[in-house]
């Protein structure tokens, strides 16, 4: 497992976890890597030293205090999740898929109907373009872009 620093064409910064560098390249080429802020699939790697999870725990250096040192010191970078965390996240995504109605390409329209009270309130899933997702968010409608169902199995 490697952790990469990524950014979209709108300069949003985020991390991505991948099985390998080749897996990242393949997923990006298929449009499966998207910005969690705006949904853009125009993604590039940022300069960083990729974290590689070898499965063995590295010794954790002892901290002298819980306070940052130096003016404006930032907290330490987070560590990639272990296999149990990834498995739990995948299980949650599968459960969300089972407990929601697939409205297909009607996702944006149905989300608006639910938001405005014209349709029964319920969890839905489906397909939407980046522009649709952006417009829904601008309208105050909460959406969560997720991988396609076939990528969760």
Q: For 117-130, what is the HEC assignment? A: CCCCCCCEEECCCH
Q: Is the pTM of this model over 0.85?
A: no
55 by Cβ neighbours in 10 Å (0-12 / 13-18 / 19+) ranks as: exposed
Residues 50-76 have a mean pLDDT of 50
| Residue 149's pLDDT band (cuts 50, 70, 90) | low
Cβ atoms of residues 147 and 96 within 8 Å:
no
Between vectors from CA 52 to CA 49 and to CA 91, what angle results, nearest 5°? 125
Give rounded-to-5 percent helix, strand, coil for the chain.
30, 15, 55
Establish how many alpha carbons lie within 13 A of residue 132's alpha carbon, considering only the half-sphere containing its beta carbon: 15
Largest CA distance in the chain: 58
What are the CA-CA distances from residue 65 to residues 59, 62, 70 (Å)? Answer: 18, 9, 13
Give the residue extent of every domain in the chain.
Answer: 1-54, 81-153
d(CA 42, CA 28): 8
**For residue 97, which of 61, 144, 149, 60 has the smallest C-alpha distance?**
149
Token pair for residue 2?
């490697």
Structure confidence by residue, pLDDT tens digits, 126-148: 999 889 988 998 898 888 887 66
| Residue 85's pLDDT band (cuts 50, 70, 90) | confident
pLDDT recorded at residue 106: 95
Statement: residue 73 has pLDDT above 50: no
């Amino acid at each position: 497992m490697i952790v990469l620093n990524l950014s979209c064409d709108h300069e949003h910064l985020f991390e991505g976890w991948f099985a390998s560098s080749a897996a990242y390249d393949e997923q990006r080429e298929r449009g499966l890597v998207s910005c969690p802020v705006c949904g853009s699939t125009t993604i590039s790697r940022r300069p960083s030293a990729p974290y590689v999870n070898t499965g063995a725990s590295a010794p954790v250096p002892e901290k002298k205090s819980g306070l940052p040192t130096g003016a404006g010191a930032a907290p330490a970078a987070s560590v990639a999740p272990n296999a149990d965390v990834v498995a739990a996240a995948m299980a949650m995504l599968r459960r969300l898929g089972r407990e929601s109605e697939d409205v297909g390409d009607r996702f944006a329209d149905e989300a608006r109907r639910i938001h405005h009270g014209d349709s029964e309130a319920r969890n839905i899933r489906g397909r939407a373009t980046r522009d649709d997702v952006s417009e829904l968010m601008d309208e105050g409608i909460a959406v969560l872009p997720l991988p396609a169902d076939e990528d969760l199995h």
